[in-house]
Amino acid sequence: MPSVDPAIPPRLLLAYRQTDYRVCGCRLRIGRRLPGALFARVGARVAVLVTAWHPRSRRMPAAWNRRMQRNLRQRLRRFAVLDAQGRGRGWCEAMLLVAGDPRPVIRLARRFRQNAVVVLRRGQAARLVVLHYAGG
């Protein structure tokens, strides 16, 4: 699986690292160890945080983001999915926590033109996985 790509501007990497991800009452940060309670609630040893909002980190209208998020959720219907949220300085976006193998989720994230996902593994730190960066 790819990891952090140096082609992504430092300001964007910093934004990912400073984002507070929230799911099931747990606060997650990239590079920090994950609470074991999260995996008990999810019922899996691995999960992925993904969104369809703001493809390629370009702001899109709220209605467009909600429609794309519904489409993503529909494509993830065979997985256990929980609502999540990513929040940074002055912005917030809906996310989904998807339990299980990250590979099919990563393929979908690419189709929805996402730069990255956050992979969560029990007993490890949350890890940013860069999928693509085309500039912006």
The residue assigned the tokens 């997985």 is 79
Give pLDDT, residue 36. Answer: 83
Q: What is the phi/psi pair of residue 130, to 5°?
A: -80, 130
Taking only the tens place, the pLDDT of each residue in 52-72 is 999 988 899 999 999 999 999
State if pTM tops 0.85.
yes
**Residue 70 and residue 62: Cα distance in Å, rounded?**
12
Q: What tens digit of pLDDT does each residue of 90-118 get?
A: 889 999 999 999 999 999 999 999 999 99
